[in-house]
Structure 1
């Protein structure tokens, strides 16, 4: 049982979540499964079906810089599931025409209603060569989605810095930041205000041995993310030093970006984003290579959704 204070629900366990109306309007639930493209689309379609039965209410589909203008994988997963929201994480603005994305969104919405959430963003500057500044690109792209009939309440912006977060709060439902820490979530909530959705991604490793967990997480974090200026600059904003960012990342950085441990320990780490102001957390279970993340999602589900009936 929780009590309402200043627009937030405070639970006896000390975990704060935004008032339910905000997140229910998007159908995200509190926790989602964030599925990396390295697993392949066929595998992710199967993972999504099981994640729904486990209790995860949103499936986040990572796409990197791929052209996905037909949104076929989104449609495939919507057809294979019955209740989950399927979110793109993200549609890369440089590589996907806004009008084509809007047309695909409208097609899918006719059949599946508001179960689709369009996550969009500029990715990172190292991936493109263009004359247009990233912020200007975001403004232009969101305007084209407006013209294409994509409601602001059904799209979410990958935003890290203060300026893009402000844009996310006014021209989209909110923000879906990637590779962040709870300090960033706290800052983002202050900028977004209470009405916008804040749904950070969180990497985790279901491994209690610190050395083994870091051996899984560090290569994933190092390449490419510690070579990308937007992520590096954002981490520096929140107190990480050049020493933390060098050589694949310090233990402190790796542990903060990808908490490890037993399911109970990892669940508590995930919930620190809720304490900091997140409405929803997209959980990305890291594994060695392309091993299935589903054992990790199953283990976490038993902690996060103890009353959910599972197969």
Structure 2
């Protein structure tokens, strides 16, 4: 599977299905290697991926990421292999352990230790029954990983890691932990807005949810930020580390920073300056030639 150096991470739940299909086709036409879609109380990512495969030719569809606590491993294993078969090998399964505040607070379930629970889940997927067409080898999996133990496990057990909400310094540390061979696919928010006040206001809107999550906060503190810098929407230093804003060259520089730090593939999340419900196609169009994605 070739996912290229740069893909797109975005939510399409605020868009009509036809608009989401058109967006995937536009992303493919621009030359981006993959479209990463979340599992976040909207469209089912497996159903949505199957639909998008029917309307694209080369684009890899990746889940960023499927919540293992809400899906039985048998069901996930069958969906994973079925989508690999239906797409001609264009499906990349991203799995994650979600957040303690979500699993306990929203669903009233105990939140088990992350690495042991992921290990047990992958063990169960390996043992899952599959009566579908023969597959030469299991398709790739990546894991949502920020802390060192999950990063090591991702490198040992799967194709690699998909860190979310982390600066380029995290990518460098992750590569050192994982070694040279594992895939490392960080997400990077980008905002085509050159006015500092407007840019940071929109960035804080996008960062509000993640900054309430203890695991993201811990990871930013590992990256050198003080806890007080993360409060009240994050100070400017935190905002500028998480959301690349400015003109096209500033956004390209953020992507390059991840690649130079050891990323295999960077998933850019193109924030629209005026609409939080959909991605910015204008940003993707502006960045594609500068990133050289169509030339890969």
SS of match in other structure, 2:8: strand
Contact 2:31/2:293 (<8 A) preserved: no
- Counterpart CA distance in 2 for 1:67 and 1:171 is 28
State the aligned residue count.
Answer: 282
2:284 to 297, 303, 308: 297
1:125 to 89, 94, 100: 100
Deviations 1:171-202 (A, max 9, x none): 11000000001111011101111111000000
**Could you say if the C-alpha distance between residues 125 and 67 of structure 1 is closer, same or farther in structure 2, counting changes exceeding 3 Å?**
farther
Alignment correspondent of 1:146? 126
1:53 to 12, 29, 50: 29
Deviates more, 1:51-60 or 1:109-118: 109-118
Deviations 1:252-305 (A, max 9, x none): 111110010111121011110011100100000112322541111111113112
**Could you say if the C-alpha distance between residues 161 and 153 of structure 1 is closer, same or farther in structure 2, counting changes exceeding 3 Å?**
farther
- Counterpart CA distance in 2 for 1:283 and 1:299 is 13
**Could you say if the C-alpha distance between residues 306 and 80 of structure 1 is closer, same or farther in structure 2, counting changes exceeding 3 Å?**
closer
- Counterpart CA distance in 2 for 1:122 and 1:101 is 14
Quote the offset at 1:68 in angstroms: 3.4
Contact 1:36/1:61 (<8 A) preserved: yes
Contact 1:98/1:141 (<8 A) preserved: yes
SS of match in other structure, 2:89: helix
Compute the RMSD of aligned alpha carbons: 2.0
Contact 2:11/2:38 (<8 A) preserved: yes
**Could you say if the C-alpha distance between residues 299 and 67 of structure 1 is closer, same or farther in structure 2, counting changes exceeding 3 Å?**
closer
User: 5+ unaligned residues in a row in structure 1: which ranges?
Assistant: 1-25
Contact 1:119/1:155 (<8 A) preserved: yes
- Counterpart CA distance in 2 for 1:307 and 1:37 is 23
Structure 1 stretches of at least 4 aligned residues deviating more than 6 Å after TM superposition = none
- Counterpart CA distance in 2 for 1:145 and 1:267 is 38
